[in-house]
Amino acid sequence: MKSLEIANKIFSSRLFLGTGKFASNELMQDAVLASGSQMVTVALKRVNVKNDHDDLLRHLDASHINLLPNTSGVRNAKEAVFAAQLAREALQTNWLKLEIHPDPRYLMPDPIETLKAAEELIKLGFIVLPYIHADPVLCKKLEDVGAQAVMPLGSAIGSNQGLQTKSMLEIIIEQSNVPVIVDAGIGAPSHAAEAMEMGADAVLVNTAIAVCANPAKMALAFKLAVEAGRIAFETKLGVIRKEAAPSSPLTSFLSK
């Protein structure tokens, strides 16, 4: 399996994890370790940046784990830029998962504010990974302003509905010059494998692992599914046919 490169950083794991919704920080830590993930998102609003011993951060303190702070909770570009600067200061990283969802019900990302904030943050030196709709044009525009990856949604956050946006994701993957990380809605290892088989560069999973009977086991299942899907993609899957290939082709006489 080829490694993934984002902004000159190399990742051997193509599974990113979210850290919300776990029943305890211990279970979250077990799941992160079992997943083999090297990139985990942390909501700025949930960590106590003034406290050096924040319990959540303490459980993510491992050399192979990179923290990706997110701006969950902000409603517009202005708030996002402000929150990003605080996250950079507090967590000592210029990586940022930019998420602006003004709609608290379905947490749908705001494309207009996201593009605006991305442009500004990139100028401020951030490595921006924006969470967005599976909108191919928006992805190209974000790439144009310097986003280092794009994170289109498979379906609504936490919905476990899988790749409802599949045909748009295919266009995005086909056109993108930056890594495509399918984020949100991935509810089963099979969904993750499907995204990877399509050629997604990575997937981000949270709810499906956090809210289940055994998060560490489920994290392992996702790890294997992501690897299987990626290897299948790199090996090139066979063409899907509607009918069996005829055993007596009508044109075989031509080669006689």
Interface residues with another protein (CB under 8 A) are 20-25, 44-49, 73-75, 79, 82-83, 86, 102-105, 158-160, 207, 210-211
In the complex, the smallest distance separating the C-beta of residue 201 from another protein, rounded to whole angstroms, is 27
**Residue number, 25 or 66, with CB nearest to another protein:** 25
Catalytic residue of the set 97, 140, 166, 223: 97
CB 100 within 8 A of CB 119: no
Quick one: 15 or 157, whose CB is closer to another protein?
A: 157
C-alpha distances out from residue 172 to 51, 127, 226, 239, Å: 40, 20, 19, 21
Contact of 198 with 233, CB cutoff 8 Å: yes
Decide if 217 is catalytic: no
Tokens of 59: 């459980």
Distance CA 153, CA 246 (A): 40
Tell me whether residue 21 or residue 58 sits nearer to another protein (CB atom): 21
Whichever of 46 and 140 has its CB closer to another protein, that residue is: 46
Give me the helices (H) in the chain, please: 25-35, 55-58, 77-91, 111-123, 136-145, 166-175, 189-198, 207-210, 215-235
Least distance in Å: CB of 214 to another protein? Answer: 12
Q: Which of 72, 69, 75 is nearest to 57 (CA)?
A: 69
Q: Which residue, 130, 146, 73, 140, is CA-closest to 98? A: 130
Question: In terms of CB distance, is 26 or 234 closer to another protein?
Answer: 26
- Give the residue carrying structure tokens 């690897």: 227
Distance (Å, whole) CA 177 – CA 244: 36
Catalytic residue positions, numbered: 97
